[in-house]
Amino acid sequence: MSSLAPAAEVAIVGAGAMGTGIAQVAAKYGHRVHIFDNRIGAADAAQQRIGDALRKLASKGKLDSSEAEAAAARIVPVHALGDLVSAKLVVEAIVEDLDVKRKMFRDLEVVVTPEAVLASNTSSFSITSLAAGMKHPGRIVGMHFFNPAPILPLVEVVSGLATERAVADLVYETAKAWGKVPVHAKSTPGFIVNRCARPFYGEALRLLLENAAEATTIDAVMREAGGFRMGPFELMDLIGLDVNFAVTKSVWEAYFHDPRFAPSILQAELVAGGRLGRKSGRGFYDYAADARKPSPATESAKPRPSKITAVGDGTLVDGLRERFASAGLAVERRKASGPAHFVVEGGILAPSDGRTASSIARDAVVYDLAFDYGSCTRLAVASAAGCSDAAYAAAVGALQAAGIAVSRIGDAAGLVVMRTVAMLANEAADAVNQDVASARDVDLAMRNGVNYPVGPLAWADAIGVDHVRTVLANLAAYYGDPRYRTSPLVMRAERLTDE
């Protein structure tokens, strides 16, 4: 299947931020792009914004000036739907209102030829529902860009029940030709990204609600240990708490109140109070001009331990053991048949397996998952209720000696990164198990749509799917909540990717 030829005309319906961004992408590739908006002057303003954006790219050396001017000249504002008659692809990017979108598609169907593809940039509505009642439902497809469209690479190509495969393939190849990273998805609530990303926010909100740690500490741990570009609370403030809450609520309702997607009462309270994040001046953080962002909880310096014993081997201890040795700590190795861990001055330093530290041993300190134990700059730890000061100090001192800042949190099951990654992998696996998308496309979507350091399925393979199963089982036992039920794919598979 080939892509839409550059000579083919493209139409964008909706001259807001998304429509304008998509128009810029198409024009840059070579299409003549007609922009329509029923708001007077909106299409003309969009033409001006696109021209300015292209010229700015040229001024920065990211685009040849002649190419910028040529692309800008290909943007044509129109003021009636009838002017879109020659379009081969129409991308709808209007308000997220199902009835309004349905009416627009019915109006478009009267205008364009039967061969024209009608795509929706919707992030939440069923493509099957949008196509219902159309004369040619097979040409209706989702083409979900991420904001800002000229920058973010992902495009979810979403097929409803009636969408013809040839139509989905044409849109997929066209998105690729436009320099995007397309993925195929079935029309299910949240598609790939908005579904699979829910635990990134949900687990952090649960930890905050349980007073396990402050928002700034959770964010720091997710960045500095997990390798995420932003922490969940920083990201919710950037997106807008109202927007993030609305997406969560929409997915939860669409899945008939499945507990895995349940919204947080804490986030609902903040939205009700008008604390929407950066755009309102306050969310989880205060954005007033004189406000200072609080520092994450960081343990004071503890003595360097004289000896560490590494008991057993495995992904979750090997990198840290090597880091201890590189820092000049004396590390003794001992084989073991049980879970791998460290013994530090008589206390236990163990990787999280979804249990609380108190349920492991009296003198246990549990450390969190890191994307890379060899380079992480911070780890979260939790100690058992009866842990002695000496055992705790020795464990923290070992991590600090290896150059790792330590954030102590409450004795929360699964800590921060481990429970989040296990839940992300579980949701991603369920999407694959339900044939929403392939494992490859799920991981591609999560890397390119929300900038995760690695796809959640590949991350589960790196940790060990058996360990992810254990974490989920322990979380389910601790909370007694079906939210943590294990996906059938995680239950039966030894690997979640083909790589």
- Annotated catalytic residue: which of 34, 136, 144, 184? 144
- Annotated catalytic residue: which of 31, 34, 121, 123? 123
Find, among 449, 438, 446, the residue nearest to 489 by Cα.
438
In the residue annotation, 194 being an active-site residue is answered as: yes
Measured distance between the N- and C-terminal CA atoms of the chain, rounded to whole angstroms? 26
Find, among 106, 88, 89, 90, the residue nearest to 98 by Cα.
106
Strand partners, 342: 310, 349
Judge whether 147 and 18 are in contact, CB under 8 Å. Answer: yes
Q: How far apart are CA 262 and CA 254, in angstroms?
A: 11
- Annotated catalytic residue: which of 9, 92, 156, 224? 156
Strand partners, 434: none
Q: How far apart are CA 457 and CA 451, in angstroms?
A: 14
In the residue annotation, 451 being an active-site residue is answered as: no
In the block, tokens 């992810």 appear at 468
Q: Residue 291's CB: how many other CB atoms inside 10 A?
A: 11
In the residue annotation, 211 being an active-site residue is answered as: no
Q: Residue 488: is the preceding peptide bond cis (ω within 30°)?
A: no
Q: How far apart are CA 117 and CA 148, in angstroms?
A: 23
Instruction: Kindly give, in sequence order, each residue whose CB lies less than 8 Å from that of residue 484, ignoring residues fewer than 6 positions away.
Output: 423, 472, 475, 476
In the residue annotation, 144 being an active-site residue is answered as: yes
Active site residue ranges:
123, 144, 156, 194
